[in-house]
């Protein structure tokens, strides 16, 4: 039976069992997903084959990145048909061709900057690009910073410290830019998205979000922002309803237009445990990657972890 999720102008059909892996392969879990101009889907995962590419129907096309990426975390699909991959286990951002050739590396592989030093990188999380080609990197688990680079990879500036005030971060987890150059940062454990100008000046923030984790922003003057929200992270509120474990669709002011998910984390079709990566293709279909393996003991501490918890879903725009 077809399952429809969302509401109003934002309704989607859940596509069951999308993504046909070769025999014996596993994603383990998925850090990020992205689509190219042909709507091929790039799944950056933590299995043996870090980048797995499918066509829009879920047919396997190719894989690459074996032995290079120890812990997949973020994808940015650039307009020049390159892909920027953020690896928080390797403390690097790599610009690659769509076939996996490395063109540029930011950071020193395997060598983190000092903890909370504000220097790039200590477990960086995601990458975004401004309209003029400047690169912004959220940094992340061992820093509380955003770093700005030019298109050639030269560091221009950094901003952010640990805290709860404007321009301060409590786990800066994701980042996107709009076509006017504004920078949107998922300040995950402060339960907000902060908005900055291209020089790091704080402008405003979007609240009423629960642990915003995944971000995707459409192009145009009034973009939509798709936000993957994590569920409760503490034993005391683990069973509380209506706290994350969903995809929220926001307008360009941060107003929620619709959401996909359930009242609590779940394993069913159209439900989520840990939505970590999100993208939207040219026709409005949504792809969501989850870090279910890592998140399982927090969400389901009384249940044995399955060999392959659900970690990839597609939602077809109606």
State the residue for tokens 């706290």.
Answer: 243
* pLDDT > 80? residue 1: no
Report whether pLDDT(308) > 90.
Answer: no
| Cα–Cα distance measured from residue 52 to residue 41, given in angstroms and rounded to the nearest whole number | 8
| Pairing, β 135-139 against β 124-129 | antiparallel
**So what's the pLDDT on residue 192?**
98
Residue range 269-281: average pLDDT? Answer: 97
Token output for 52: 């797995």
- Residue range 151-178: average pLDDT? 98
Q: What is the mean pLDDT of residues 191-211?
A: 98
Q: How would you class 44 by CB atoms within 10 Å of its CB: exposed for 0-12, middle for 13-18, buried for 19 or more?
A: buried
Average pLDDT over residues 46-70: 97
For the residues 231-259, what does the mean pLDDT come to? 96
Q: Is the dihedral of CA 35, 5, 245, 21 positive or negative?
A: negative
Domain CATH for 212: 2.120.10.30
Phi/psi of residue 165, nearest 5 degrees: -85, 180
Q: How confident is the model at residue 302 (pLDDT cuts 50, 70, 90)?
A: very high
| Residue 217 Cα to chain centre, angstroms | 11
The yes-or-no verdict on residue 15 having pLDDT over 90 is yes
Statement: residue 170 has pLDDT above 80: yes
Query: Average pLDDT in the 93-110 region?
Result: 98
Structure tokens at 36: 């190219």
Q: Which long-range contacts (CB under 8 A, 24 or more apart) does 199-207 make?
A: 199/148, 199/157, 200/146, 200/148, 200/157, 200/159, 200/160, 200/167, 202/166, 202/167, 205/166, 206/250, 206/254, 207/254
Integer Cα distance of 191 and 234 in angstroms: 14
Residue 297's SS3 state is helix
CA angle 29, 39, 271 (to 5 degrees): 40
Confidence of residue 309 (pLDDT cuts 50, 70, 90): confident
Say what the pLDDT of residue 94 is.
98
- The predicted pLDDT at position 57 comes to 97
pLDDT tens digits, one per residue of 232-244? 989 999 999 999 9
Quick one: average pLDDT of 80-84?
Answer: 98
The tokens for 92 are 């690097």
* Among candidate residues 223, 135, 128, the one with its CA nearest the CA of residue 173: 128
Structure tokens, 291: 């870090």
Other beta carbons less than 10 A from residue 145's beta carbon: 26
What distance in Å separates the CA atoms of residue 265 and residue 37, rounded to the nearest whole number? Answer: 32
pLDDT at 266: 93
For 3-88, where are the E strands, in sequence order?
A: 4-7, 10-15, 30-35, 41-45, 51-54, 60-64, 72-77, 82-87
Distance CA 196, CA 217 (A): 15
Q: How many domains does the chain have?
A: 1
Share of the chain above pLDDT 70, in %: 100
Q: Which domain holds residue 257?
A: 4-317
Contact 2, 248 (CB under 8 A): no
CA–CA gap between residue 108 and residue 121 (Å, rounded)? 8
In which band, very low, low, confident or very high, does the pLDDT at 92 lie, cut at 50, 70 and 90? very high
| pLDDT for position 307 | 80
Helix/strand/coil (H/E/C) assignment for every residue in 209-220: CCCEEEEEECCC
Average pLDDT for residues 241-268, to the nearest whole number?
96
Distances (CA, A) of 133 to 124, 129, 158, 180, 269: 19, 6, 17, 12, 38
Give the pLDDT confidence of 105-122 residue by residue, as tens digits.
Answer: 999 999 999 999 999 999
For the chain, give the mean pLDDT.
Answer: 96
């Amino acid at each position: 039976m077809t399952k429809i999720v969302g509401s109003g102008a934002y309704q989607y059909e859940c596509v069951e069992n999308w993504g046909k892996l070769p025999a014996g392969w596993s994603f383990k879990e998925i850090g990020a997903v992205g689509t190219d101009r042909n709507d091929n889907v790039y799944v950056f995962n933590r299995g043996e084959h870090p980048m797995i590419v499918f066509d829009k129907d879920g047919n396997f096309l190719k894989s690459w990145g074996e032995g290079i990426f120890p812990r997949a975390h973020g994808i940015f699909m650039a307009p020049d048909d390159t892909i920027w991959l953020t690896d928080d286990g390797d403390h690097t951002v790599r610009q690659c061709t769509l076939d996996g050739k490395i063109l540029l590396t930011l950071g020193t592989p395997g060598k983190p900057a000092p903890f909370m030093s504000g220097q790039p990188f200590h477990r960086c999380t995601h990458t975004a690009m401004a309209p003029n080609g400047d690169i912004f990197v959220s940094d992340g688990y061992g820093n509380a910073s955003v770093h700005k680079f030019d298109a050639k990879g030269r560091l221009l500036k950094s901003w952010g410290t640990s805290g709860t005030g404007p321009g301060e971060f409590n786990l800066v987890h994701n980042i996107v830019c709009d076509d006017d150059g504004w920078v949107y940062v998922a300040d995950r454990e402060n339960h907000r998205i902060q908005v900055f100008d291209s020089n790091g000046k704080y402008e405003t923030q979007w609240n009423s979000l629960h642990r915003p984790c995944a971000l995707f922003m459409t192009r145009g003057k009034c973009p939509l922002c798709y936000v993957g929200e994590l569920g409760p992270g503490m034993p005391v509120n683990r069973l509380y309803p209506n706290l994350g474990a969903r995809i929220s669709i926001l307008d360009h002011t941060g107003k929620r237009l619709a959401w996909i998910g359930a009242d609590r984390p779940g394993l069913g079709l159209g439900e989520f445990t840990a939505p970590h990566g999100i993208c939207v293709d040219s026709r409005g279909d949504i792809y969501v990657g989850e870090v279910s393996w890592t998140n399982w003991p927090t969400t389901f501490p009384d249940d044995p972890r399955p060999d392959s918890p659900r970690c990839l879903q597609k939602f077809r725009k109606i």
